[in-house]
Structure 1
């Protein structure tokens, strides 16, 4: 069974190789609606159809990419298409069983486990997808849906084969910094959840790019840019317009600090209210870039590949 973390910034896959070692695979969550844009060489990438809607995935689609930062994205046709595209790019075809996840706030409700959302995720992930290279080359069977954050925390205390490697005496706080949201899970040594303190916060790694856009508007009178372009500006620390290169390194730093300070304030409140915990675990794509900013917590822990923590845990748990 393959672990699939279908995020709004990246799709991460984790699966066992022939020697039972976990391998990671990742693609950006860049997809456009319609038949795509054809370049001068005639390349339009791969086109897909899901629920009667056409989608395109190619390097030409970045300027018109769908904004995946919305509540319905985990259950959307574009989410399903990105999953199948990632599987194809990883060379995985045929009948494919996956274990995947939804946010803490979607997985749990006031009555406990939100079975309706779990079934909705299973159904959407298994929706048939047609693509331009073959009629149907991947048949997804979503066997397990797990809570993001909590699953990742479990994975951080187990090896690749599900053997426990870390013990908790008091419990933990897991902060899963995704693209659109951050799951904050306060758990016991037995991985039970404190529902009074755990929550999904509508603040994520992509908010850094949103804040950068606001800084660029304020300082350079620029308009709105796509998440793809803002990601490039953030990594390059400059942008070019009219043949001129404009340094925005200081604006990138301001954007990063603004969002990291907000996250730290939220997490600090959870730590203060949680009495004593063994450690604060940071996972998700945002944890890698914010590693230095998040290291100030006492007993903080960031795994080697935090972006793949959920996908890895899904893979392990799905194969137990």
Structure 2
């Protein structure tokens, strides 16, 4: 049977991990990953324009949109709204950020088959997919988004919703060509640390999901961001935005008053506190994980919460773990 991309050569396959802190995009063309990109999941209601001295760069799309009668400006504005609210996956803000990310990666005007995700505790109702919630997410993503300047938008012709965490196992188990590359007799745990949630999953031999050990907890990178924000307020008496701190997590520094200041101590203290909560949730699901052949550590928090590796000696961190779910989405769609 021919693959979907062979039957629809003009339709591009895209995995979009539309998380509460970041939106990760993976593009597959011709059975291979051709592009990856990440943006902060930040936007603000209304039109908030900026201008460029001289000529604007052609590869910087206008970040102002309208959907369902609501206007948004996408980007790390100083007063951008956080995506840390329960209905974010189904919101106009979410679909606007997703469409902006697709435009940034060069897919404006292209026909797309995309997949997005939901946390495990939202995607499943017991051991069954929650059809109502999945349909709600599908309706939201398929709702039109228009660019204020009339530029061509991505043309989403098909959309699927997959469970986060388990999609990281798909990325691990399948090569870009869709062929199984993992031992089918393995038992694999997945720890997926995202912006707001930490998903834990177990896949048994025969691709069976152990639902009793799967679930989500409301803890992740954004908890670190909040604690660092409070620490910086105490240290400098300055209120820093979440988007500024999120960028500072990577460089362990932040710019104030024209100077680059080290915030490594604040980050380390925040990570240590949040790690305790992450490990409690993981331990509740996996125990000591002695029955598992390996444990995958993925998500945007994989680099930040490295102490998880000390708890489990058979942890595997894939290359670019922040893209694991989006890669899994794209690979599954490409079958």
Q: TM-score, normalised by structure 2?
A: 0.85
CA distance 1:150–1:134, change in 2 (3 Å): same
Instruction: State the match for 1:295 in structure 2.
Output: 309
Q: How does 1:100-115 map to 2 (within 5 A)?
A: 100-110=116-126, 112-115=128-131
Bigger mean CA deviation after superposition, 64-73 or 128-137:
128-137
Q: Which residue of 2 aligns with 1:91?
A: 106
Once the two structures are TM-superposed, the CA of residue 269 in structure 1 deviates from its matched residue by: 3.3
Deviations 1:234-287 (A, max 9, x none): 344444556776543211111122112321232233332766111111111111
Q: 1:32 aligns with which of 32, 39, 44?
A: 44
Structure 1 position 57 matched with structure 2 position 106: no
CA root-mean-square deviation: 2.5
Deviation at 1:79, TM superposition (A): 0.9
In the TM superposition, residue 168 of structure 1 has moved relative to its aligned partner by 5.2
Partner of residue 8, structure 2: none
Q: Is the 8 A contact 1:46 1:133 kept in 2?
A: no
Partner of 1:122: 138
| CA shift in 2, pair 1:221/1:15, >3 Å | closer
Cα deviation for residue 41 of structure 1 reads: 4.7
In structure 1, distance between residues paired with 2:276 and 2:85 = 23
Residues 301-312 of structure 1: matches in 2 within 5 Å?
Answer: 301-312=316-327
Q: Residue 208 of structure 2 corresponds to which residue in structure 1?
A: 192
**2: distance between equivalents of 1:237 and 1:100?**
30
Query: Does structure 2 conserve the Cα–Cα contact (< 8 Å) formed by 1:125 and 1:141?
Result: no
**Runs of 4+, deviation exceeding 6 Å:** none
Relative distance call for 1:143 and 1:246 in structure 2 (3 A) is: closer
Deviation at 1:38, TM superposition (A): 3.1
Contact 1:106 1:117 in 2 (8 A): yes
Within 2, Cα distance between the matches of 1:252 and 1:12? 23
1:172 deviates by 1.9
Query: Aligned partners of 1:84 and 1:4: how far apart in 2?
Result: 10
2: distance between equivalents of 1:131 and 1:170?
47
Separation (CA, whole Å) in 2 of partners of 1:22 and 1:278 = 31
> What pairs with 1:107-186 in structure 2 (closer than 5 Å)?
107-110=123-126, 112-134=128-150, 137-167=153-183, 169=185, 171-186=187-202
Matching residue of 1:258: 273
Asked if the contact 2:110–2:154 (Cα under 8 Å) also holds between the matched residues in 1, the reply is: yes
Residue pair 2:31, 2:177 contacting (<8 A) in 1 also: no
Return the offset for 1:300: 0.7
TM-aligned CA distance change 1:120 to 1:142, over 3 Å: farther
1:203–1:38 Cα change, 3 Å: same
Distance 1:204 1:36 in 2: 29
1:3 Cα deviation from its structure 2 partner: 1.1
Structure 1 unaligned spans of 5+: none
**Structure 1 pair 41–318 and aligned structure 2 pair: CA distance change class (3 A):** same
C-alpha distance in structure 1 between counterparts of 2:144 and 2:173, whole Å: 36
Q: Which shows bigger deviation, 228-237 or 140-149?
A: 228-237
**Residues in 1 aligned to 2:259 and 2:95: alpha-carbon distance in whole angstroms:** 40
Q: Matched residues in 1 for 2:27 and 2:275: separation? A: 31
Indicate conservation of the 8 Å contact 2:253/2:262, yes or no. yes
> Alpha-carbon deviation of 1:78?
1.1
Aligned residue in 2 for 1:272: 287
2:7 is matched with none
Q: Could you tell me whether the CA contact under 8 Å between 1:29 and 1:82 is conserved in 2?
A: yes
